[in-house]
Amino acid sequence: MTELCFSILAADFAHLADDVAKATEGGGTVVHFDVMDGVFVPNISIGPPVLKSLRKATSLPIDCHLMIANADAYIPAFADNGANWVSVQWEACRHLNRTLDLIQKHGMKAGVVINPATPVGFLDEVLDMVHHVLVMTVNPGFGGQAFIPGTLKKVEKLAALRKERGLDFRIQVDGGIDHETVQSVVKAGAELLVAGTSVFGRGTPVEDAKSLLELARTAR
C-alpha cells in the first residue's frame, strides 16, 4: 500500500496543527517528524517538546527520523511524548542492533536510514528486525533539495532483497519527492513516500497531497 508521510519540516509552524489537518484531508496517513541536532547534520530542527504538542493535534502515526549523533539517549523521550515510529541513521549508530532493540522495547516501530552514499548491503544483519528502511534520496539536513537519481537503484535492491529473503519491512524514501519524481520511486519499490516541500510549499496542502498520491498510485 502506497502511503504519504508528509514532512512537517516544510509546514508553517505558526499554524502546525492546521497544516497537519490539511495534509491529512489530502490523504496523508503518517506524520513525518525530522529531528536534527546540528552535529550529525548541519542543521537544527525540532525535538520532544514539539512532538508532545503535535501528539495532541493528530491521531495519525508520528514517524520520527532521528538525524542525531546519540540517538540512544533520546529514544525514551520520543516514546514518552507520542512517537509511534522511530528511525535512526546507520551512519550515526555505533551499535545499531542495540539501538533498534531499544526503540522496540519502548513500544515503537523501529526503522533504519541510509544516506545516498551508504550501500544497501550494510543493512543485511538488521533487515529482519526493522519495520521500515528509509532510503535518503538527498543528503540529509535540509528540505527542498533535488532528488538524486542514482538512489533508485538502492530502492530496487531493497525490494529484491525483501522478496528473496521473505521479509516484510516497508521501503520509505525521503528527499526531492515531488510530482515529477514520485512515480519513479514507486516503480522502484517504495511504499512510504516522505514529502514536505511538494505538499506544503505552495500553501495548498490538501490539493497537493491529493495529486501527489494520485500520481503515486497510478504508478503502482
Catalytic sites, residue numbers: 34, 174
DSSP string, 122-156: GGTTTGGG-SEEEEESS-TT-SSPPP-GGGHHHHH
Give the length of the chain.
220
Residue with cell 519499490: 189
For residue 26, give the C-alpha cell. 489530502
What is the CA 128 to chain-centroid distance, rounded? 19
Q: What is the dihedral of CA 138, 22, 172, 139, to 10 degrees?
A: 10
Amino acid (1-letter code) at residue 6:
F
Element (H, E) at 184: helix 182-188
